[in-house]
Amino acid sequence: MKELRGKVGVVTGAGSGIGLGIACAFAREGMSVALLDRRADTLEPAAEQVRAFGGRALPLTVDVTERDQLERAADAVEWEFGKIHVICNNAGVVVGGKALAEVTPLEWKWILDTNLGGTINGIAAFVPRIQKHGEGGHVVNTSSIGGFEVNPILRTGPYDVSKFAIVALSEALANDLAGTNVGVTIFAPGAFNTAIRRSTEFRDARYGGPVTTPPPAVRTGEPRLEPEVAGRRVVDAIRNGELYAFTHPEARKRVEPRLRRILEALDATDTWAAQR
């Protein structure tokens, strides 16, 4: 998608942080934006920021773990704006600062339902509607640099598991949509100034309710960017049809060692196979 003006975008987790940064970037491009978030108190202030950039905004209180809520939101967006061209499955939470053995079953369910399940539900609710009108569109699934490398200092294992899964999900979706006019981007941001590290403070009762816990360690060795930068990066990725969209060049030095280990393991497999 080269031309975004006049198109309609939907962003989950848009009440704050990277989601709001994406929504504002869409508004600057002349798009109408539906802002979805489970925290109703964040939505109207977020919508006002979008409107300040000249965009039309539709705030909708939605829990991405509930597919029927996303389906109803899609109906509302089509009623308000006519069509949907871009879906950004961005809503996410984090569990960190502990070993996997210390993660409770309810914490696993919360993070997988939200990060992975929310992305699956967003694809199911919005992609068929994007395909239906035939004008083309784009799917942006927010993974993380944590979807490409597991940082031993951060100890965010459950989060990384969910973000690795989003990479595989998105690659599979890109295969399904190859040759069509609907593109896919895996957005893999690094360190940003957002409130995601306080996720547990806003956790729903069915997942154990809100609790204040020590936040995960802060990623070092790279600048903490502002959400508006994420928005600009997503716009560029959509325009350029990028499958992988990173935000920090510093990520290379963490991803490359993992890739080298994989290639070395494949080399060892060649040797093993020749000897068997």
Q: Which domain holds residue 192?
A: 8-251
Give me 26's structure tokens. 């869409």
Does the structure show a pLDDT above 70 at 154? yes
Whether 23 is in a domain gets the answer yes
pLDDT exceeds cutoff 90 at 214: no
pLDDT, tens digit, for every residue of 32-47? 999 999 999 999 999 9
Q: What is the mean pLDDT of the chain?
A: 94
State residue 195's pLDDT score. 75
124: in domain:
yes
Band the pLDDT of 202: cuts 50, 70, 90.
confident
Does the pTM surpass 0.85? The reply is: yes
Domain count, the chain: 1
Would you state the pLDDT for residue 276? 81
In a domain, 261, yes or no: no
Active site residues: 159
Q: Is the pLDDT of residue 21 over 70?
A: yes
Query: Region 246-259: what's the mean pLDDT?
Result: 93
Give the per-residue pLDDT at 95.
86
Q: What proportion of the chain, given as a percentage, has pLDDT over 90?
A: 82
pLDDT-based confidence at residue 241 (cuts at 50, 70, 90): very high
Question: Would 256 be classed as within a structural domain?
Answer: no
Kindly state whether residue 209 falls inside one of the protein's structural domains. Answer: yes
Q: Binning pLDDT at 50, 70 and 90, where does residue 155 land?
A: confident
Tell me whether residue 257 is in a domain.
no
| Listed range (61-75, 108-122, 141-155, 218-232) with the worst mean pLDDT | 218-232
Look at residue 262 and tell me if it is in a domain.
no
- Is residue 258, in this structure, part of any structural domain at all? no
Q: pLDDT value at position 185?
A: 98
User: For the residues 49-54, what does the mean pLDDT come to?
Assistant: 94
Mean pLDDT in residue range 2-29: 97
Look-up of token digits 């802002």: 35
Which pLDDT tens digit goes with each residue over 216-239?
A: 556 666 788 899 999 999 999 999
Q: CATH number of the domain that 221 lies in?
A: 3.40.50.720
